[in-house]
Amino acid sequence: MKMGITGPEGHYLSRPPSVEAEATHRVITIAEHANCPVYIVHLMSRESSEEVMRAKNRGQIVFGETLAATVGTDGRKLFDKDWDVAARYVMSPCLNPDPTVKVQIMKYLNSGVIDVVGTDNCTFCTDQKQLGRENFGKIPNGVNGLEDRMAVVWTQGVRTGLLSENQFVEVTSSKAARIFNMYPDKGVIRQGADADVVVWDPNHKKTISAKTHNHKVDFNVFEGMEVYGKACYTFSRGNLVWDGKNFLNQGKGKYVQRKTGGYAYARHKMYSETNDPMKLKVDRSGKSHTPESQESELLKVKDELASMRAERDRLLEQVKGKK
């Protein structure tokens, strides 16, 4: 602010990728010393993703989440001359102005560095964003993503060959069910499971627009983006709740109480035992160095030497007798 940068671009300039990476590193370090699995939300940059990658390479139990906005758009519009347009893209961490970042993030999804794609859907209309007109620090943070998440990931991932169809299901659905210990009630299609079932049309094509979306907000950060994929039907606990055009059987959701433990802790016990700092504790009690203990050790050595001499003498006698 003291530099005179009050517009939306100031939000990014004050929170560059290096800051996001430093915060990610700090959380991972605290989790490591607290001996606890950690879930990093909203990975928006190469730098923060690489912190997760390094932790995973060390064997640490770390899970990474990115957003539909991260893989579907970028932060170039933060520098748009129209203040209203620029303010629409303000969120935290920041969207990166580098258009190649979204491709790299998708590659991290492919390799398992990043585990899932969420949305952090948090929409504010243009007039609400105006709260920060004179101070970028007061611009309400958040963008849309919930409605377009699946189509954006399908288009940017499967349609480009960076994700397989199975990986698409994993990063948008099944992996999250395991991480948050809702599997096998969620995250799998099998008898007894409570999973929602989506019939997906991979070839359905549309152009995203605020004029046709279902969000009650007057803009869309994916405006004009051509995407593929659509949920033609959605079933919940055996009931059709979406027929491709209309919501049916509304108001029948059920709260799912998650349990502790599960997938995130699957290797925690053995990892903890392997990296237990108590194994490196040095005994400085002094008990092993008392005069009594030293005398006892000396007597033990003398006894062993005497036994060795006796065995030597016995063998010599045997050799003499044979001669």
- The per-residue pLDDT for 322 is 66
- The per-residue pLDDT for 323 is 59
Tell me the C-alpha distance between 15 and 42, whole Å. 14
CATH of 9-195+203-226+252-277 given 3.30.930.10, 3.40.50.10470, 3.20.20.140, 1.20.990.10: 3.20.20.140
- The per-residue pLDDT for 53 is 98
Tell me the C-alpha distance between 318 and 179, whole Å. 72
Q: Where are the domains of the chain?
A: 9-195+203-226+252-277, 283-322
Nearest to 64 by CA among 75, 72, 56, 73: 56
- Whether 95 and 89 have beta carbons less than 8 Å apart is answered as yes
Segment (H or E) for 52? helix 46-57
294 token code pair: 């030293």
Tell me the C-alpha distance between 163 and 169, whole Å. 10
- The per-residue pLDDT for 211 is 97
Tell me the C-alpha distance between 104 and 89, whole Å. 20
Nearest to 61 by CA among 107, 28, 17, 13: 28
* Placement of tokens 């943070």 in the chain: 141
207 token code pair: 């152009």
The rounded average pLDDT for each run of 10 residues, N- to C-terminus, in the chain (323 residues) is 90 97 98 96 98 97 98 98 98 97 98 97 97 97 97 98 98 96 92 88 97 96 98 89 87 82 94 89 72 75 86 80 66
